[in-house]
Structure 1
């Protein structure tokens, strides 16, 4: 949830966003469109075209176009570093954004060198973007998603005995939890933004599931499971941050000292930063690993793009299916499907083949619940 400007803090209390989204990036713009958004659309557009070229059999052009898309994608994440470091104050997101450019550049290099199997991972990123970007950039969709998430989060608070009501947040949506600043410990409250909706995590799994070749029934079951678990855990997260911030659950002296001296944040923002940036984000990584395991049990085909991620990170080939005791494909996967999947990865026995809720509105009153 994002922070309200200082001019409104006196009457409404300090507000923090529950999630951070890439929609706004300081003052960098390309025309009237934020630079980050422009780079994201260019990268995803190139990934989609590369996917179409691959489907039409133009593997060479697809590899080179996807290679260029990866470089642009890395630049997108680089532009997000100031936002995550200066505004969100999230060490985890800052480090991931910094690491993205060299990793994306290496992926581009591998594609140029002929590693066709990376086209499957590129397809997954294309689908991820097609799921996420419309939500981020189409106002009516964004409004519905944010306000629905805020309403559901408020219901969760009511189950725990808190009913602050909802009012308009600094982002213009009815997504701010209207705690009375005179009755809470910190005088702060939070509001929901796009990243608080869980759409980012949903896009990741949706992209992976959409990109692989497998029977539609299993893909549908895996998608429903992933989305359902993400939705539930995201609401739990929002409720946790939304209550921890105003009621000062983490206002202990040692934590206040860390936040004020090492992060330069106001003392009354400590509970929000600890709940959101440290506890929630760390547990989100654990949750994503758990969801991945559940999805793999239903749809082991998603191991293929994950193996490519591990190769990029380590330079070593992995057989995750064998490691997880799933060396054989499910019975409903035909030999043709297995053959097609092998073709998609571009792997060959030939020895000479070379083989990722706070609006950047300043912290003076309310913060978004960040992912």
Structure 2
């Protein structure tokens, strides 16, 4: 189900890029489908003891209503945000929907993770083409482990406002190589922590019933997720430096959502 919702969302945002009066409706359709996809996947997130994405899903409901309201008004802030989402989908979609492209990227990342671990004198073996194993613990590398989602999102953010060629090149360099390299280190850290059981703590919080899962939970769902969030904030700051208009746009976008939230709580007076 989630695959179809993501595909429909992608089609909606691609339709948004085609000039015409339909654009605002296409964007609303795209946002609605991607948010429905978040809710469809809640069971998986809870099964993994991952609370970040359920929180994002809850916050996405008011986000959708506010975004749709301003898209119907053809507000530039909401339109530019939808353009960012459309660009992100253009980058991500080939790897998601063309199996050969997605498998190629996963295979490249697996090889480079093994190389990083070898440089750290941490020996592993391959149980399958995308499964790294040590001490009978296995980690499957999927498309979500390649960093392509974060790269696509941040490149989409950079495309939210008009830029010149120099800004485009610098934005790409600060986003793609940085996220890709740090993602390799992230994967290596998670594999080392899980297979060596570095964090076997608080099973009442972290366990999902699998032996040793606690170390994976703390390494992947907590430490790696929080670190990635901090890194994305730093990259965003770098983008604001390279593209000053992006910083102004982010402030205007914040004012749009904050203003609506204040209205909802009667604090806009």
TM over 0.5, shorter chain: yes
List per-residue Cα deviations over 1:57-104 (Å, max 9, x = no partner): x4x432233233322332222222222122x32111221123223312
Q: Report if the CA contact (8 A) 1:43-1:73 is conserved.
A: yes
- Report deviation, 1:239: 0.5
1:314 corresponds to? 258
Secondary structure, aligned partner of 2:247: helix
Structure 1 pair 176–197 and aligned structure 2 pair: CA distance change class (3 A): same
Matched residues in 2 for 1:313 and 1:229: separation?
Answer: 30
Q: Secondary structure at the match of 1:249?
A: coil
Distance change >3 Å, CA 69–CA 99, structure 1 → 2: same
- Aligned pairs for 1:181-192 (under 5 A) are 181=136, 188-192=137-141
Please point out which of 209, 218, 224 is paired with 1:265.
209
Alignment deviations for residues 182-216 of structure 1 (CA, whole Å, 9 cap, x no partner): xxxxxx23121111100111001111223421111
Q: Using the alignment, how far apart are the partners of 1:207 and 1:248 within structure 2? A: 37
- Compare CA radii of gyration and give the structure with the larger one: 1
Give the equivalent residue in structure 2 for 1:131. 91
Report the more deviating stretch, 202-211 or 299-308.
Answer: 299-308
| Residue 281 of structure 1 pairs with residue 216 of structure 2 | no
Deviations 1:328-361 (A, max 9, x none): xxxxxxxxxxxxxxxxxxxxxxxxxxxxxxxxxx
Cα RMSD, aligned residues only? 2.1
* Closer/same/farther in 2, CA of residues 82 and 309 from structure 1, 3 Å limit: farther
Asked if structure 2 preserves the Cα contact closer than 8 Å seen for 1:107 and 1:312, the reply is no
Deviates more, 1:159-168 or 1:109-118: 109-118
* Deviates most, 148-157 or 77-86: 77-86
User: Residue 39 of structure 1 corresponds to which residue in structure 2?
Assistant: 5
Give a deviation string over 1:138-165, Cα, whole Å, max 9, x none. 1111111111111111111112211212
> Post-superposition shift, 1:167?
3.2
Query: 1:61/1:137 Cα in 2 relative to 1: closer, same or farther (>3 Å)?
Result: closer
What is the number of residues matched between the two proteins? 261
Q: 2:197 & 2:65 partners in 1: Cα distance?
A: 43
TM-score (norm 2): 0.89
Matched, 1:175 2:130: yes
Question: Of residues 189, 192, 203 in structure 2, which corresponds to 1:256?
Answer: 203
Q: Decide which of 151, 156, 169 is 2:111's aligned counterpart.
A: 151
Unaligned runs of 5+ in 2: 261-269
Shift of the alpha carbon at 1:267?
4.9
Residue 165 of structure 1 is matched in structure 2 by 125
Match of 1:78 in 2: 39
Cα distance change, pair 178–107 in 1 and its aligned pair in 2 (3 A): same
Cα 1:96–1:176 shift into 2, 3 Å: same
Please give the secondary structure, in 2, of the residue aligned with 1:189. Answer: strand
The within-5 A match list for 1:189-268 is 189-252=138-201, 255-260=202-207, 264-268=208-212
- What secondary structure is seen at the aligned counterpart in 2 of 1:290? helix
* Preserved CA contact (<8 Å) 2:95 2:102: yes
Partner Cα distance (2:257, 2:35) in 1: 15
Q: Distance in 2 between matches of 1:193 and 1:114?
A: 38
Partner of 2:267: none
Q: Secondary structure at the match of 1:315?
A: helix
Q: In structure 2, do the counterparts of structure 1 residues 246 and 146 end up closer, same or farther at CA, with 3 Å as the change threshold?
A: same
Q: TM-score, normalised by structure 1?
A: 0.65
- Displacement, 1:309? 4.4
